[in-house]
Amino acid sequence: MQVFKNKAHELKRTVRTVCSILEEGSNVILSTPQNNYQPNLPDKPMNENYFATEIKQFLARVVRETIDIQKVSGLVLTGGDISVSIIRALEATGIEVKRQLADLVPVGILRGGPFDGLSVITKTGGFGEEQILINAVEYLRNRTLYEG
């Protein structure tokens, strides 16, 4: 089974696009489809866990390859599985929590790996309002640019 027709091409294209947007000084949101999304796949049964794992790993690689190229002020991560995948891709050993942006929305810094000290805000996937995400982005944009 294959989720992407040409994963390497899609990864390269996505990283290029994200880096271009970041170079302009804009924010980037990488997201997964809504729960009711039905992928247009060949007539083979697709294991839901396989599909979810492929998407998580793809997003994690996009983040890693992007911040290998382009400096960022921090990351806002939502959803536990995606957050863990991204933290692993960044080779961090964990997050040191510094404060709470809101209830159950910690602000911290990555520990370990090549991005040690990078600001990270995490939010569970099913909790909170959209305004929390806006506040998280504003918080990171107003901090000093990470100079890893």
pLDDT on residue 113: 97
Q: pTM score, two decimals?
A: 0.83
Query: 1-5, 99-103, 109-113 — which one is most confidently predicted on average?
Result: 109-113
Evaluate if residue 38 carries a pLDDT over 90.
Answer: no
Kindly report the three-state secondary structure assignment for every residue of the chain. CCCCCCHHHHHHHHHHHHHHHHHCCCCCCCCCCCCCCCCCCCCCCCCHHHHHHHHHHHHHHHHHHHHHHCCCCCEEEECHHHHHHHHHHCCCCEEEEEEEEECCEEEEEEECCCCCCCEEEEECCCCCCHHHHHHHHHHHHCCCCCCC
Where do the domains of the chain lie, and which CATH numbers do they carry?
7-141 (3.40.980.20)
Confidence of residue 6 (pLDDT cuts 50, 70, 90): confident
Choice between 45 and 122, residue whose per-residue pLDDT is larger? 122
